[in-house]
Structure 1
Amino acid sequence: MSTIALFGANGSIGSRILSEALRRGHQVTAVVRDPAKITTTHPNLTVATGDVLDPGSVAAVAKGKDVVVSAVGGGDGPGHIATIEPAAESLVAGLRTLGDAAPRLIAVGGAGSLRTPDGKQVWDTEGLPEFLLQIMHAHGDALDFYRTVSDVRWTNLSPAGTIAPGERTGSYRTATDDLVTDADGNSRISTEDYAVALLDEIEQPRHIGERFTIGY
């Protein structure tokens, strides 16, 4: 069993990570700006007020934990486009203050920087809306930052090209920087199976200091 501090626990991905972690018996502290938005109750769940953009707040909730998970990164709330990369910097700065006692960091990433079968990157796909491109590149900037960090144990988990709520199958395939596609060329994962993969990484670390991605 791990002790986990989870930022963004009330988002689409974060809420699935929360459910999966509790399902497996981990102790979770859900860190949110407004605790009233967490309606889940569970003996292993604690709700704390915190700000992912404040290194002091990060350090306070991370102290004594095994893992910090950042699920900020959507299009609104604390994961708004302009805060994705600053959140990465704040998380690392906060964890650095804890020195050798700092927990691992696992951050939800984006698919935009993944290589496609034709050798380009997902964000080079024609016809993508501007707001989505902005989010993709913000996640790319965050990943670029993480790759400069050697004194904090970090992992960045990029979803498949399409991620949406769906079935929890418990099955997925992994890659590092290449988009995972099926026989028909589709790249997809359910939010539930994304959470499965992230908790698997917590329980059996295989990607410390790197990005990996998943898909069916």
Structure 2
Amino acid sequence: MATIAVIGAGGTIGSAIVVEALAREHEVTAVVRDPARYRGEGVAVAAADVLDPADVARVARGQDVLVSAVGGGDGPGRGRLIEPAARALVEGLRSLGGDAPRLIAVGGAGSLETAPGVRVWDAPGLPDWLLRIMHAHGAAQDYFNTVTDVRWTVVSPAATIEPGPRTGHYRTSLDHLVRDEEGRSWISVQDFAVALVDEIEQPEHIGERFTCAR
């Protein structure tokens, strides 16, 4: 059993990760901005701001793994989030020194290659709001790639991720988009959570990004 803190536990992906980890009898802390609004059960609940390294260090202390499931948007409201959050996560964990837990961050699919030198975000017709999120995740990934003193893993989903069945089946790659025989790249939120918790239990990608799809 691992102790796991999930930042963004109230979101679609974060809540699925919590459910999957609990089903495997891990000890989970749900980390959210407003604990009064959190509706999950069977977990400890903590408040933290992912952009505050001191908050990150506080909720990460004593955990085996810190999961960051934030980053669904990068625009109005709180403004830029994804790449600054990556830096705050690393800074917070660095402050814990040798006691820092492993970091697993949910990434994006935009920077995955679809052909040599071609990435998902190069497809024509993508809306500006989506490109902004894709490139924010790409900037976060570029930053993680420079980090050598924190144990990190980024898990990028398929091109399409949405609620669906939990089958427990998925395929992986490193920096190349995973597609089926018809060219589709899809995974359910539930199977994405399976892949992420599998990585917690059987680490294979420390210091690198991998992606998963059905």
- The bucket for the TM-score relative to the shorter chain is over 0.9
CA contact (8 A) 2:74 2:132 kept: no
* Alignment correspondent of 2:188: 190
**So what's the TM-score if we normalise by structure 2?**
0.97
User: What are structure 1's unaligned runs of at least 5 residues?
Assistant: none
Q: Note the C-alpha offset of 1:157.
A: 0.5
CA contact (8 A) 1:73 1:84 kept: yes
What is the number of equivalent residue pairs in this alignment?
A: 214
Question: Counterparts of 1:117 and 1:148 in 2: how far apart (Å)?
Answer: 24
* Alignment correspondent of 1:9: 9
* Alignment correspondent of 1:109: 107
- Within the candidate set 95, 98, 108, 1:97 is matched to 95
* Alignment correspondent of 1:122: 120
Code of the residue aligned with 2:193 in structure 1: it is: A
What is the SS of the residue equivalent to 2:131?
helix
Q: Note the C-alpha offset of 1:76.
A: 7.0
* Alignment correspondent of 1:200: 198
What is the SS of the residue equivalent to 2:66?
strand
Code of the residue aligned with 1:3 in structure 2: it is: T
* Alignment correspondent of 2:133: 135
* Alignment correspondent of 1:155: 153
Runs of 4+ residues over 2 Å off in structure 1:
none
Q: Note the C-alpha offset of 1:38.
A: 1.4
CA contact (8 A) 1:81 1:138 kept: no
What is the SS of the residue equivalent to 2:134?
helix
- Within the candidate set 165, 168, 183, 1:167 is matched to 165
Q: Note the C-alpha offset of 1:37.
A: 2.1
What is the SS of the residue equivalent to 1:211?
strand
Q: Note the C-alpha offset of 1:41.
A: 1.5
Q: Note the C-alpha offset of 1:34.
A: 0.4
Q: Note the C-alpha offset of 1:36.
A: 1.8
Q: 1:76 to 1:21 in 2, by over 3 A?
A: farther
Q: How does 1:46-57 map to 2 (within 5 A)?
A: 46-57=44-55
Q: Note the C-alpha offset of 1:81.
A: 6.2
CA contact (8 A) 1:74 1:81 kept: no
Code of the residue aligned with 1:64 in structure 2: it is: G
What is the SS of the residue equivalent to 1:61?
helix
Code of the residue aligned with 1:106 in structure 2: it is: I
Identity of aligned residues (%): 65
What is the SS of the residue equivalent to 1:157?
strand
Q: 1:99 to 1:157 in 2, by over 3 A?
A: same
Question: Counterparts of 1:171 and 1:24 in 2: how far apart (Å)?
Answer: 16
CA contact (8 A) 1:70 1:107 kept: yes
Code of the residue aligned with 1:35 in structure 2: it is: P
What is the SS of the residue equivalent to 1:107?
strand
Code of the residue aligned with 2:30 in structure 1: it is: A
Question: Counterparts of 1:81 and 1:214 in 2: how far apart (Å)?
Answer: 28
The CA RMSD measured in Å over matched residues stands at 1.6
* Alignment correspondent of 1:40: 40
